[in-house]
């Protein structure tokens, strides 16, 4: 009899926290610009048994807060969004405005991987 030891998959919020931490450590900083902050109603994902399940990152009200921003590296312009659900409490998002200049941390080996906010860093000025 063979037993497969399968590592329990990490939840999405932990994977995102690890990504933010990595970019905060190794990321280079470039000037970017805030495009907008929006709240999206997140649809529950279906589990393998067909029942709806909610991601650990989506609050009980089902809203997901996304921060859209843009930045350029070596003549290439990136336009992306970061899910900042759960990070809002530590930030002063009421002062964030469309067109605001911000610092973006990006992965030098993959410039499309970037953040504006981390658990202990903010690129918002």
Cβ proximity of 108 and 22 under 8 Å: no
H helix count then E strand count, the chain: 1, 9
Cβ proximity of 62 and 41 under 8 Å: yes
What local confidence, expressed as pLDDT, does residue 71 receive?
98
- Would the pLDDT of 82 be above 90? yes
Q: What element of type H or E holds 21?
A: helix 12-26
Which residue, among 101, 105, 99, 102, has the nearest Cα to 118 in the 3D structure? 105
What local confidence, expressed as pLDDT, does residue 7 receive?
61
The whole-model pTM stands at: 0.76
- Would the pLDDT of 44 be above 60? no
The DSSP output letter for 124 is B
């Amino acid at each position: 009899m063979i037993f497969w030891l399968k590592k329990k998959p990490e939840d999405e919020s932990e994977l995102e926290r690890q990504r933010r931490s990595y970019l905060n450590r190794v990321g280079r900083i470039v000037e970017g610009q805030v495009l907008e902050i929006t709240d999206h109603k997140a649809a529950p994902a279906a589990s393998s048994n067909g029942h709806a399940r909610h991601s650990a990152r989506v609050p009980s009200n089902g809203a997901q807060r996304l921060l859209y921003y843009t930045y350029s590296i070596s003549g290439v312009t990136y336009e992306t969004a970061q899910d900042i659900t759960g990070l809002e409490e530590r930030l002063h998002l009421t002062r964030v405005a469309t067109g605001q200049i911000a610092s973006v941390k990006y992965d030098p080996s993959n410039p499309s991987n970037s953040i504006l906010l981390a658990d202990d860093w903010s690129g918002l000025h």
